[in-house]
Structure 1
Amino acid sequence: MSTDVTAFRTPGLGDQTYLLVHEGKGVLVDPQRDIDRFLSAAAERDVDLRFVLETHLHNDYVSGGEQAALRTGAELVLPAAAAPAYRHTPAFHLEDLDGGAGLTVRPVHTPGHTPEHTSYLVLIDGEPVALFSGGSLLVASAGRPDLLGPERARSLARLQHVSLRRLAALPPGVALYPTHGEGSFCTATGAGRLTSTIGAELRTNPLLAIGDPETLADTLLAAPMPIPAFYRHMGPANTLGVPPMPPVQVPELDAPAPGTHVVDLRPRQAQARGMLPGSYGIELDDDFGSWTGWLLPYAEPITLVAEPGQDVAPAVTQLAQIGVDTVRGVLRGPGAAATQTYELAGLDAFVKLLARPGAQLLDVRMPAEREQTPLAGAVERFLPDLFAQGVPGELDPARPVLVACASGRRAAIAAALLAREGYRPIVLTGAGVAELGTALRDHRAA
């Protein structure tokens, strides 16, 4: 008898989808919209996909659950209180679902991350072996309770206390497979490893040591992370149903499609040399879709600018994962029209520029990052706030603006916006604020 679990990581969203296989029977948990990668893995192993399970109406991506069930004939299971607009089996607390071959799925109502949230305990021949905890109990953390608004946050945080203790009472050897993990904005505190066991969490998860619901609520709500702007569109989409994934191939263009936002996804070195006037610069990485969905008006038409030969399929896929199906095409290299520029500076050069009289510095990190590692003398504006509120009035467009973050990625995105607005940005690249602070202290001591 064999049972195994395959995890499919989506780094840019900090999430995982799981495929559990037992004696040829399969259970797919919290699938993202690009379902081909999951279904191909199941088909390669000749798996009879019995269930597609959703732990909650997701806030951070649009689901592929309905389409996966339609493609395979699997039974789509959602929390009973979710009540989506499409056909599904409602999961009621402790009402077992029989998957055959000794495989049983037991729903466990675990409100807190969302009101309807349900975890799924998998039993093999009556013995509990695996828990798919979605956004409830996470590795060294728990799902945040404030995504549905501050009015409900404390009530949900108290419910999270009940749910965590409910799951912690399971046998210590049960494997823990949460959907949200490191890099997810759905975690209340910094999640660590991706998977664990109930026993390991009892020993190491600080939230399980909190015995009082109010104290847990205080802890979960003490310093919440920002909420990406596109999150507010995910719940409604997952309630109403999501169409199939669009093709990842897009037309090749000679000029930006009319009425589109131009997003340059080339490496920052190419962007710095020249971008199309009025374009945004978000170089392609695992979190391209998240930043684009957060910073630009949601789901408005987009033209991509890429290097010759650069694969844009990952960009289209990431956007589709959050319901943005509006890429109109790709322009290969902006050519002579690329007159919007910014500068890149390594650590030593950046420190020397900061030492000049009248130097102005912009810090685009999150508030919690700034509090942990302050950058003296900097004008502070979190990157999404820079897009939403505009460039701080303290910055003089007649003088260069030095821009820093933790690694250079967000600073480069900010620099493209500053250049678009007529400023002269210089990005700290290849280093971040931590290294900059040390270098500044050494420079002043020399």
Structure 2
Amino acid sequence: MVAVEVVETSSLGDRSYLVTDGAVAAVIDPQRDVDRVFAAAGRRDVRITHVVETHIHNDYLSGGLELCRLTGAEYGVAAADEVSFARRPLVEGDVLEVSPQLRLRVLATPGHTFHHLSYVLEGDDGAVGVFTGGSLLFGATGRTDLLGQQHSEELARHQHASVHKLAEVLPDGAEIWPTHGFGSFCSASAVTGSSGTVGQQKKVNAAFRLSEDEFVEHTLGALDPFPTYYARMGARNTTGPQPVDLREPARVQPAELARRLRGADWVVDLRSRRAFSRAHLAGAISLGLDGPLATWLGWLTDWGTPLTLLGETPEQVAAAQRELVRIGIDRLTAAVGQPHELAMDASLVRSMPSATFADLAEAGPGTVVLDVRMRGEWRARHLKDAVHVPLFELRDRGHEIGDGVVWVHCSAGYRAAAAASLLAREGREVVFVDEEFDAAQQAGLPLVSDR
């Protein structure tokens, strides 16, 4: 019996897949840390014989090439994609005979990229499901501007045609297994649900109820900026990323750590924002493991900036290291312990006040309210008289924030804590709001919309 196992990378909003007949397996869109794929194959006692990519990824480094090196599996990549390694060039109509019971039929589904492919899983009774990559997602589609704004409209038109093509050639009961759309910036709009079929998507996905022109307008109008590190991922994936090195990073001694905190290095506190609020090292940035660490760290830092991770345990540092190698951040150092253990002296240990929206409603004069959410979130609804500087722009636009105590909020607290720590590093007095944005209305704060 054919089975599909999901290999989740929730921090980047992506999924990879292992599909098997019980003896052999194919892998679709693997992440760079391939040991997770080996673990999935090992649990099922199957041999990996095929690895395929739906497209050249822009949000993470692929583990496909390394997985094939280690297993001898055949590597399938779109024939039209120019890569510098040996692969099986795939075009529409090709069939990958993984086993007599397991076949993958190639469909061309351009839109997310020009050469995007989907893979129809076929059993004895026809199509069982389809691996859609960045094409048809749950309640959405993949964004169409990753190759440049000059291509976004053309690719949006391709995307509309591709999702309709999938609906035409597949039965309503066919399962959909997308790579993107679980928080990834590769999604053009918000995703709904975690599973679905072609028939179900026909009822709920805007791509099926909108005309081509309406879909293009809808898709391009919903796009927020995407992380700047995406520009590096595609090129690395066409040349083939180097194998992952997950050995423990070098430890930093307290004197060196103090120097890095005072300098231009990035020292990242991996603990929860609440632990950070209680006590942290002055100059550290709050990007906890309980949120999209890799996305925001990759977006906010200058590429190549020396990076030090602060964790409570070696396991916490190892988890962060794994997150970061997925986007190509390989060289880092670490320090392990609580702030008071890592500080050269007690004056380096600080606290940062957190608050609720009800607290903000009671704040006195001289308060500056800073909203660090994305532009789409701001347009939908925001606090009256708030200053809007998305987190990814804060380092360049911090000077625009007026004098006074800065109360920072986002949608739930993670980005607010990161922003507050960046501002505190620059000497600003800050409070971060650690609460869901919906609580603002309950607190009686005035809300307005730009729509």
* TM-score of the pair, normalised by structure 1: 0.92
Matches within 5 A, 1:387-398: 387=395, 389-396=396-403
**Which residue of structure 2 aligns with residue 351 of structure 1?**
361
**Which residue of structure 2 aligns with residue 51 of structure 1?**
50
Give how far 1:340 is off: 5.2
Structure 2: which 5+ residue stretches go unaligned? 447-451
Distance 2:91 2:115 in 1: 10
Give how far 1:111 is off: 0.6
Give how far 1:273 is off: 4.3
Matches within 5 A, 1:342-381: 342-353=352-363, 356-381=364-389
User: Which string of whole-angstrom CA distances, capped at 9 and with x for unpartnered residues, describes residues 169-215 of structure 1?
Assistant: 111121110111221111111111222111111222121122x3222
User: Which string of whole-angstrom CA distances, capped at 9 and with x for unpartnered residues, describes residues 375-421 of structure 1?
Assistant: 1111110111102x13143421xx31111111111111011011111
**Preserved CA contact (<8 Å) 1:157 1:217:** yes
**Preserved CA contact (<8 Å) 2:22 2:44:** no
**Preserved CA contact (<8 Å) 1:299 1:323:** no
**Which residue of structure 2 aligns with residue 29 of structure 1?**
28
Give how far 1:39 is off: 1.1
Give how far 1:310 is off: 6.0
User: Which string of whole-angstrom CA distances, capped at 9 and with x for unpartnered residues, describes residues 326-385 of structure 1?
Assistant: 2122243332252554321234333222xx123211111111111212211111101111
- 1:281 equivalent in alignment to 2:286: yes
- 1:329 equivalent in alignment to 2:334: yes
370-379 vs 278-287, greater mean Cα deviation:
278-287
Alpha carbon RMSD of aligned pairs, Å? 1.9
**Which residue of structure 2 aligns with residue 117 of structure 1?**
116
User: Which string of whole-angstrom CA distances, capped at 9 and with x for unpartnered residues, describes residues 16-41 of structure 1?
Assistant: 01111114121111010111111111
**Which residue of structure 1 aligns with residue 323 of structure 2?**
318
**Which residue of structure 2 aligns with residue 385 of structure 1?**
393
Give how far 1:126 is off: 6.3
Letter matched to residue 436 of structure 1: A
**Which residue of structure 1 aligns with residue 296 of structure 2?**
291
14-23 vs 53-62, greater mean Cα deviation:
14-23
Give how far 1:116 is off: 1.0
User: Which string of whole-angstrom CA distances, capped at 9 and with x for unpartnered residues, describes residues 282-314 of structure 1?
Assistant: 122241111111111124321112225662111
Letter matched to residue 345 of structure 1: A
Partner SS state of residue 182, structure 1: coil
Task: Provide the aligned length of Structure 1 versus Structure 2.
Answer: 434
**Which residue of structure 1 aligns with residue 417 of structure 2?**
412
Matches within 5 A, 1:3-402: 3-125=2-124, 127-169=126-168, 170-210=170-210, 212-255=211-254, 256=256, 260-307=265-312, 311-332=316-337, 333=339, 334-335=342-343, 336=346, 338-339=348-349, 341-353=351-363, 356-387=364-395, 389-396=396-403, 399-402=404-407
Q: Label 1:418 to 1:204 Cα distance change in 2 as closer, same or farther (>3 A).
A: same
* TM-score of the pair, normalised by structure 2: 0.91
Letter matched to residue 373 of structure 1: R
Distance 2:445 2:357 in 1: 13
Partner SS state of residue 97, structure 1: strand
Distance 1:381 1:362 in 2: 7
Give how far 1:147 is off: 1.1
**Preserved CA contact (<8 Å) 1:23 1:101:** no
**Preserved CA contact (<8 Å) 1:293 1:299:** no
User: Which string of whole-angstrom CA distances, capped at 9 and with x for unpartnered residues, describes residues 146-171 of structure 1?
Assistant: 11111000010111122111111111
Distance 1:437 1:204 in 2: 29
Q: Label 1:308 to 1:74 Cα distance change in 2 as closer, same or farther (>3 A).
A: closer
**Preserved CA contact (<8 Å) 2:55 2:133:** yes
Distance 1:140 1:299 in 2: 37
29-38 vs 307-316, greater mean Cα deviation:
307-316
Partner SS state of residue 440, structure 1: coil
Partner SS state of residue 59, structure 2: coil
**Preserved CA contact (<8 Å) 1:360 1:401:** yes
**Preserved CA contact (<8 Å) 1:248 1:317:** no
Q: Label 1:337 to 1:394 Cα distance change in 2 as closer, same or farther (>3 A).
A: closer
From 414, 418, 438, give the equivalent of 2:442.
Answer: 438
Partner SS state of residue 350, structure 1: helix
Letter matched to residue 359 of structure 2: A
Letter matched to residue 393 of structure 1: E
Distance 2:41 2:8 in 1: 16
Partner SS state of residue 31, structure 2: coil
Letter matched to residue 352 of structure 2: Y
Distance 1:122 1:112 in 2: 21
Letter matched to residue 377 of structure 1: D
Partner SS state of residue 202, structure 1: helix
**Preserved CA contact (<8 Å) 1:290 1:318:** no
Letter matched to residue 281 of structure 1: S
- Work out the percentage of aligned pairs sharing the same amino acid: 36
Letter matched to residue 81 of structure 1: A
**Preserved CA contact (<8 Å) 1:130 1:175:** yes
**Preserved CA contact (<8 Å) 1:405 1:433:** yes
Distance 2:381 2:247 in 1: 40
26-35 vs 121-130, greater mean Cα deviation:
121-130
**Which residue of structure 1 aligns with residue 449 of structure 2?**
none
